[in-house]
Structure 1
Amino acid sequence: MATALGHVGDELRSAAGGNLVALVLYGGLARGRHRGPRSNVDIAVVLEDASPERIQEITPVLMAAWRAAHVDAWILARAEIPGLAEVFPTRLLDIREHHLVLHGEDVFAGLEIDRRLLRLRVEQELRNLSLRLRRTLVTLAADPASAAAYLTTTARPLAIQLAVLLRLAGRTVPAEDRSAAIFAAAAEAFGLDGEALETLASLRQGDAPAGDVRELAGRVQVVATRAADVARSLDLESAS
């Protein structure tokens, strides 16, 4: 993968020239948690000028990278990054904490994230997950395999939101960036259903679902609702 990313970097520098501010690896591979062919390779391509004409210059490189190694590019203009931190605070926080500069400037180091906006976004993401899980209880009631597959996709996003919630509440975030570790810490800190979260983490690792998948979906839905309630109740003045 390092060779493939090096090739992408060389090709982007050649295509974009001085317009390429930075090429930054983030996501699972940056955390050391890449899941092989099942996972995309997430990169941020930061340009000085991200107009359609300048993006066209790098399109062939990015299309080839996607076909070759599932390299998924988030194309940003340097000037819009502070604003993106306001509307996507959890994503930018995750990138700030877990990234590797492949080329150019470290545009994410020291990026300011407003804790009030972060709290609001965490609650929004958790509420959205809760609502989608309620819908799943209906639409996939007769299809346990599809329900299990859907639950698997919720595990990592839920873990990311719970990790931010731990941080906002002044609790210790596990040094080991694994969903299971985050779930265990959040269950203890906020009184969440630790057994359901442990089962969800196992499901993400490829274990066969144990018991009634619909029941598990319901329990995870309750976890998401409870965590959203915790986010809403946070006193950010006293949380350190």
Structure 2
Amino acid sequence: MTPDKLVEELTKAGSGSLKSVVLYGSAAAGDHAGKNSDYNVLVIAEELGVETLNAFSKTATAWAKAGNPAPLLFTQERLKQATDVFPIELLDIRECHKILYGDDVVSDLEIGTENLRLQIEHELRGSLIKLRQAYLLTGGKSKAVADLMVESLSTFLVLFRASLRLFADEIPQKKFQALEKLGAHLSFDPSVFQTVQQLKDGTKKAKSCDVETLFNTYLTTIECVIDAVDAEIHKGVKS
């Protein structure tokens, strides 16, 4: 299902409740990798009670079966109220989006960044904990470990791009450009993530890599970023 088809189906199902559909993420940033990427959409409705959710359910299920995350649902008022809680996501959406239907409800969002550092660290630490938990279940098998890195890559690239906001004013839209810039600020080698991306897009095979060493480097580089974010938080507290 394409984004245009999604809009068509949501419009039919929405019975006047649908106010806006916003494409964000890699597709909006020009960073979409075809079949290896998904589409992220924000849906704004007049209200989001059970009746509206039921109306959107069939379309959302087909969208998810096509390999995409379920639409992110908000009313316009609750979107405004969420700007201090989800600064990572909403800053990214505000800066890079495409309106597929209705009004542009994100360009003028006032997003407080007072919680940005804590959200970045919370998300990074939580994702690292989940990564280690998932590794325990791989039994150290190379294919399973490679798949684990591939599956987690997008999450960490998004969080690294958010982390760059703590060290630079201008943030590249494309995730690997942001990664390179973050690496320059924090003095780490981003090549491990480029290798995982090659595994993801099929230009490199797991059996051609030392997967255990790759995973160890993946872990330690993530820890490097977390430590730098943590130091930035404490620096901010002291000042």
Query: When the two structures are superposed, what TM-score results if normalisation uses the length of structure 2?
Result: 0.83
Check whether the contact 1:115–1:168 (CA below 8 A) recurs between aligned residues: no
Structure 1 residue 190: Cα displacement = 0.5
Q: Which amino acid aligns with 1:192?
A: F
Q: Which residue of the partner structure matches residue 188 of structure 1? A: 184
Q: Which residue of the partner structure matches residue 15 of structure 1? A: 13
Q: Which of 215, 236, 239 in structure 2 is aligned with 1:217? A: 215
Structure 1 residue 26: Cα displacement = 1.6
For residues 138 and 7 of structure 1, do their structure 2 counterparts lie closer, same or farther at Cα, with a shift above 3 Å needed? closer
For residues 166 and 18 of structure 1, do their structure 2 counterparts lie closer, same or farther at Cα, with a shift above 3 Å needed? same
Q: Which of 113, 117, 134 in structure 2 is aligned with 1:115? A: 113
The yes-or-no answer on 1:54 pairing with 2:52 is yes
Tell me which moved more, 225-234 or 100-109: 225-234
Q: Where does 1:43-82 land on structure 2 (aligned, <5 Å)?
A: 43-67=41-65, 70=68, 72-82=70-80
CA distance in 1, matches of 2:64, 2:189: 38
Structure 1 residue 165: Cα displacement = 1.4
SS at match of 2:71: strand
Q: Which amino acid aligns with 2:94?
A: R
For residues 204 and 6 of structure 1, do their structure 2 counterparts lie closer, same or farther at Cα, with a shift above 3 Å needed? closer
Tell me which moved more, 195-204 or 64-73: 64-73
Check whether the contact 1:130–1:222 (CA below 8 A) recurs between aligned residues: no
Please give the per-residue CA displacement for 1:76-122, whole angstroms capped at 9, x wherever unaligned.
Answer: 22221123333322122222222111111111112233223111111
Tell me which moved more, 154-163 or 190-199: 190-199
Q: Where does 1:28-39 land on structure 2 (aligned, <5 Å)?
A: 28-39=26-37
RMSD over aligned Cα, in angstroms?
A: 2.8
SS at match of 1:114: coil
CA distance in 2, matches of 1:224, 1:197: 10
5+ residue gaps, structure 1: none
For residues 52 and 153 of structure 1, do their structure 2 counterparts lie closer, same or farther at Cα, with a shift above 3 Å needed? same
Check whether the contact 1:115–1:236 (CA below 8 A) recurs between aligned residues: no
Structure 1 residue 52: Cα displacement = 0.8
Q: Which residue of the partner structure matches residue 199 of structure 1? A: 195
Q: Which amino acid aligns with 1:199?
A: T
Structure 1 residue 137: Cα displacement = 4.7
Q: Which of 63, 73, 83 in structure 1 is aligned with 2:81? A: 83
CA distance in 1, matches of 2:222, 2:184: 15
Q: Which of 208, 217, 220 in structure 1 is aligned with 2:205? A: 208
SS at match of 1:95: helix
For residues 58 and 183 of structure 1, do their structure 2 counterparts lie closer, same or farther at Cα, with a shift above 3 Å needed? closer
Q: Which residue of the partner structure matches residue 224 of structure 2? A: 226
CA distance in 2, matches of 1:163, 1:187: 11
For residues 46 and 138 of structure 1, do their structure 2 counterparts lie closer, same or farther at Cα, with a shift above 3 Å needed? same
Q: Which residue of the partner structure matches residue 167 of structure 1? A: 165
Q: Which residue of the partner structure matches residue 124 of structure 1? A: 122
SS at match of 1:112: coil
Paired residues in the alignment total 235
Check whether the contact 2:38–2:69 (CA below 8 A) recurs between aligned residues: yes
Check whether the contact 1:30–1:100 (CA below 8 A) recurs between aligned residues: yes
- How many percent identity over aligned positions? 25
CA distance in 1, matches of 2:53, 2:63: 15
SS at match of 1:115: coil
Structure 1 residue 56: Cα displacement = 1.9
Structure 1 residue 193: Cα displacement = 3.5
